[in-house]
Amino acid sequence: MGTRLGMALVALAVLAGCQSGGGARVDEGALPPLPPASAPKYQDVPVPFGFEYLPTKSFSTEGVGYRVGELIYKGSANALEVMKFYREQMPPNGWVEVREADIGSRAILLFKKQQESCIVIIERGSLLSSTMVRVWIH
């Protein structure tokens, strides 16, 4: 879990230096919409349909007034479609996009909701590998 916490802290540090809307953005309106899966681990954090939850690589814990976790999924949609999915699906669940970063093969989106943060890390797949989605809640 220490490595996971370290990765989350690195993602937060990167996001702290990046501003939403910086740089050229692909026209997401031209991308086909991805539907949400019917039963995500957290009801207010949607997952694109067809993405497989990887329980052996994920962790989560909840208690009264808190939840912490890293939920990992893999699927075949491309990273731009997944980014569009989270930008469209998080606001109806009360999340506000705060920042974004595009770092090599990863795109990172930071959302806030009341006292919680949600970091979505999208690792681009290729012809031979799946797109990976890491969802951090804290």
pLDDT at 10 over 60: no
Tell me the C-alpha to C-alpha distance, in Å, between residue 96 and each of 2, 50, 70, 91, 99.
Answer: 28, 24, 19, 6, 9
Domain membership of residue 79 as a residue range = 2-137
- Which residues lie across from 99 on neighbouring strands? 110
| Mean pLDDT score, 45-70 | 93
| Mean pLDDT score, 54-63 | 94
Please tell me which residue, 27 or 123, carries the higher pLDDT value.
Answer: 123
pTM to 2 decimal places:
0.77
Q: How many domains does the chain have?
A: 1
Give me the residue label for tokens 């490595």.
3
| Element of type H or E holding 62 | strand 59-63
Non-local (6+) Cβ contacts of 74 within 8 A are 51, 52, 54, 130, 131, 132, 133
pLDDT at 35 over 90: no
* pLDDT band at residue 14 under the 50/70/90 scheme: very low
